[in-house]
Amino acid sequence: MFPANIEHYSRPATIDEALATSARFEDGEAMFIAGGQSLMQAMKSRMTRPRCLIDLQAIAELRGICPDANALSIGAMTRYATIAADERLSGYFAALRDAASHVGDRQVRNRGTIGGSCCWNYVASCMPAVVLALGAEMQLRAAGGASRSVAAEDFLIAPLETARTEHEILLGLRFQAPAGRGGSAYQKWGLVKDALPVVGVCVAVTLDAAGRCASARVGLAGLSAGAHRATAAEQVLLGSAGDAAAIAKAFDAAAEAAEVQGDKWANTAYRQNLIRTLGQAVATSAFARAAGSKE
Ligand SMILES: Cc1cc2nc3c(=O)[nH]c(=O)nc-3n(C[C@H](O)[C@H](O)[C@H](O)COP(=O)(O)OP(=O)(O)OC[C@H]3O[C@@H](n4cnc5c(N)ncnc54)[C@H](O)[C@@H]3O)c2cc1C
């Protein structure tokens, strides 16, 4: 199926040019397009019918991965394939590579972007759960130049809904580096390998000098509420040594507390079991990475 007629296509070279083009249209008439991996489907099905498409691909300042001692910055237009290939994303940031390596197929990973995934905020997307667990700050700019930063949990409101206002561009994501040792991991389970998950779990932990869990954040994907934190699991992990008993207890708590839907892909008990098994695997991996494992 082809999209409906698009009257105006623009491929700006700068953020300001993109914002100025967007501001010339009424609300809902102009849309930014990143990798097109979600938007093209929405346009073909007539779920969205923009009059104007503003293609962000030529804007170099929206691309790139920049780690320093205090923080990691990732441009909104950075593609999954680039994230998956970047070996600097280890330890506390390893979950980004875990997720990016298995989003869709090779074509989706070569086109799709981290910013597009977060702005679309599809119910089963991997990246929103990861950026929640890693406590990202979403950096936005509006026409006229006003910039703001929004915590991922305030940005990701509900499936297909974010705090981004009409005409605002997501510039990138900024992740604070952990004060001490940190590790994270992400895994998903889907009916088809490398496709949207039935359930996905991300765990990010930091350790104190004694090797105890000083902070824990858990993000879930695939549930009807969309990406959200599993605070019940986080509370159990805090202060633990990341041993098998504590991890099992944490993900029993997460499975009990989660509002799980049953559908044609999995019933509620199956999803709860996925939260337990995936959660235990990723938490084990996150603690091992925090302790120095390169796996
Ligand atoms: C076959 C297939 C399999 C997939 N499997 C998975 C999977 O396993 N896991 C997973 O998480 N996802 C999966 N996806 C979805 C994929 O991750 C999409 O790439 C992603 O959801 C959208 O990113 P995009 O760059 O393509 O954005 P687009 O589709 O171009 O845009 C999405 C939305 O974000 C807006 N937008 C994009 N960038 C910006 C910006 N910088 N500022 C403001 N607004 C912006 C657009 O206007 C649009 O509304 C799959 C998709 C396909 C087609």
Q: What confidence tens digit (pLDDT) does each residue in 93-137 have?
A: 999 999 999 999 999 999 999 999 999 999 999 999 999 999 999
pTM confidence score: 0.96
What tokens does 272 get?
């709860």
Q: 292 alpha carbon to ligand 1 midpoint, in Å?
A: 33
Residue 189 CB less than 6 A away from ligand 1: no
Query: Which domains, ranges and CATH numbers included, belong to the chain?
Result: 8-55 (3.30.43.10), 60-176 (3.30.465.10), 181-290 (3.30.390.50)
What tokens does 231 get?
């605070």
Mean pLDDT is lowest, of 61-65, 112-116, 151-155, 190-194, for 190-194
How far is it, in rounded angstroms, from Cα 247 to Cα 123? 26
- Whether the Cβ atoms of residue 152 and residue 138 lie closer than 8 Å to each other: yes
Q: Tell how far CA 289 is from the center of its chain.
A: 20
Each residue of 231-268: pLDDT tens digit? Answer: 999 999 999 999 999 999 999 999 999 999 999 999 99
Residue 205 CB less than 6 A away from ligand 1: no
- Whether the Cβ atoms of residue 72 and residue 93 lie closer than 8 Å to each other: yes
- Beta bridge partner(s), residue 206: 182, 215
Of 71, 82, 70, nearest to 35 by C-alpha is 82
Residue 121 CB less than 6 A away from ligand 1: no
Q: 153 alpha carbon to ligand 1 midpoint, in Å?
A: 18
Shortest-distance Cα residue to atom 10 of ligand 1: 125
Residue 126 CB less than 6 A away from ligand 1: yes
Of 145, 187, 185, nearest to 168 by C-alpha is 145
Q: 113 alpha carbon to ligand 1 midpoint, in Å?
A: 6
Q: 216 alpha carbon to ligand 1 midpoint, in Å?
A: 27
Q: Between the CA of residue 239 and those of 5, 113, 206, 242, 247, what are the distances in Å?
A: 57, 35, 10, 9, 12
> φ, ψ for residue 19 (rounded to 5)?
-65, -40
Q: 118 alpha carbon to ligand 1 midpoint, in Å?
A: 8
Each residue of 26-66: pLDDT tens digit? Answer: 988 999 999 999 999 999 999 999 999 999 999 999 999 99
